[in-house]
Amino acid sequence: MNRQRTVIIFKSESESTDVYAAELKHHFFHPIFVPTLSFGFKNLEKLCAKLQHPDDYEGIIFTSPRCVEAVCKALDKQELPGGWKMLRNYAVGEVTHNMVHDHLQQLFTHGKQTGNARALAEFIIEAFEGDKDKPLLIPCSNLAQDTLTVMLKEDGFRIDACEVYETKCSPDLSEKMDEALKAENIEFLAFFSPSGVNCASEYFKAKNIPMDKYRLVAIGPSTRRALENKGLKVYCTAERPTVEHLIKVLINPQESRENLLKESQHSLQE
């Protein structure tokens, strides 16, 4: 009988957690979820005021489910003004796209096939058909990476970034990790964000446990870089934040490494 391979997943509880658990178990992995981050919302009145004036914008960019949640909280049970449906709106990944559709009057967003900020920025730059006179509204966190805004500004877009939530290490992280590490046959640690990497590494450092005794899995290039910047070797990288992409690299890490090699060679040629 096959022993299940345990994967500790540093991921906040969300609507997709059950889907991840079911799919991973179906492929004989034993997932343990450790919520790494906690969130506090802020500037919601300021965001609400901006949301009342869709005519002032080219569109809105949702970079995470938390940004969608911030917009819903800012509206406080009001409907999103209908003018936004006439604009060019974008979302990073399918989870965020679906959340916008379900919670904001079926607002449609482009870019759900992108899985990170760089890919979304490239998509917007390539597909945008407008005059760029008005800014794109981006609700974001205090730890937002600059990749998206820098790339868009360099291409002539105007940006209105509104910091609407703070990301901190979860106060329960240490307790949850103590429990998680009691599991048998722990093989992988899977990280979904650079901030998740930072919080988890603080725990391992405090406990004097080397992180590289496990196989480290990154979801997306920015998470991979966060691990590498700490001098850690990344076992494999999932291209996008979906359970299908995660399972694919867990089962076939070599393909992930070959894709990374092609990617780095492409960057060198540019």
Are 139 and 113 in contact, with CB atoms under 8 Å apart? no
Confidence at 1, pLDDT banded by 50, 70, 90? very low
In this prediction, what percent of the chain has a pLDDT beyond 70? Answer: 92
- Residue 95's pLDDT is what? 87
Name which of 49-53, 189-193, 264-268 the model is least confident about. 264-268
pLDDT in tens, 80-102: 999 999 999 999 988 899 999 99
Model confidence pTM above 0.85: no
Task: Tell me what the mean pLDDT of segment 197-223 comes to.
Answer: 94
CATH 3.40.50.10090 occupies which residues in the chain?
5-36+172-267, 40-168
CATH no. of 5-36+172-267: 3.40.50.10090
Are 163 and 67 in contact, with CB atoms under 8 Å apart? no
- Residue 16's pLDDT is what? 73
Class of domain 40-168 as given by CATH: alpha beta
Exposed/middle/buried for 212, CB within 10 Å: 0-12, 13-18, 19+?
middle
Q: Kindly state the helix (H) or strand (E) to which residue 176 belongs, with its residue range.
A: helix 173-180
Task: Tell me what the mean pLDDT of segment 114-132 comes to.
Answer: 90
Q: Which two tokens stand for residue 56?
A: 């002032």
Task: Tell me what the mean pLDDT of segment 194-222 comes to.
Answer: 94
pLDDT at 244 over 80: yes
The residue whose two tokens read 């060679």 is 265
Name which of 21-25, 218-222, 237-241, 252-256 the model is least confident about. 252-256
Q: pLDDT: is 240 or 132 the higher one? A: 132
Confidence at 18, pLDDT banded by 50, 70, 90? confident
pLDDT in tens, 19-29: 899 999 999 99
- Residue 17's pLDDT is what? 83
Alpha helices in 13-144 (DSSP H): 17-26, 44-51, 65-75, 93-103, 117-127
Counting Cα atoms < 13 Å in the Cβ hemisphere of 170 gives 20
